[in-house]
Amino acid sequence: MINKSNIRKHFLTRRNLLSAHEVEQLSRDIYRQILSTSLIEDTKIIASYFAISNEASLNLLLTEHNNIYLPVVKTNQTMLFAKYTCSHELVNNKYGIPEPISKQIISAHKIDVCFVPLVAFNRQGVRLGMGGGYYDRYFQYNKDKKKPTKLIGIAYDFQGSDTIKAQSWDIPLDIIITNKEVIKP
């Protein structure tokens, strides 16, 4: 049986083989796919992430939109989202991920769209992350709310895998955007 740890290791290794040029080009292709949808046209509050370790970068989104919030990891294994602008200072958290030091925190139910990083995904909207469960815990309310945040997984096309199975605590993605397509599970 293939376990999450082995799947994660495989896809992280594959992602880490990308050159800086490839990451930049594929990330541009992903941003073009985002723009080809109407996802951010009238969206008021967007949550995103700051890419590390060859993750697909959404730097163009971060520089072109005003209401962007980035994750901030707390010491109690929780996460929140803080306001980000290009002029805000970023500091690295315990995982080496840059975070805003802004005091403007937004509550989860006010986020319209959240772009979520991932290691791998399946076409049914199951996401394999780094294993900390931060996004699943943060968006747990999505299971109960009438107006949940639209969760959009951002990935390279080679990160798709039918070997990923959902767990009871997984919060499914509404859409997956790769450099080649927009997938609606």
Give residue 171's pLDDT.
86
Domain ranges of the chain: 4-183
Chain centre to alpha carbon of residue 152: 7
The mean of the pLDDT values for the chain is: 90
- In whole angstroms, how far apart are CA 69 and each of 160, 163, 176, 179? 26, 32, 20, 23
CATH number of 4-183: 3.40.50.10420
Helix or strand (DSSP H, E) at 11: helix 4-16
What is the model's pTM? 0.91
Please return the burial class of 73, using the count of CB atoms within 10 Å of its CB with bins 0-12, 13-18 and 19+. Answer: middle
Query: Between these two residues, 183 and 89, which has the higher pLDDT value?
Result: 183
Q: How confident is the model at residue 132 (pLDDT cuts 50, 70, 90)?
A: confident
Give residue 144's pLDDT.
67
Rounded to 5°, the CA angle 78-61-181 comes to: 95
Give residue 50's pLDDT.
93
Contact residues for 107 (Cβ-Cβ < 8 A; gap 6+): none
Query: Between these two residues, 146 and 160, which has the higher pLDDT value?
Result: 160
Rounded to 5°, the CA angle 127-74-153 comes to: 20
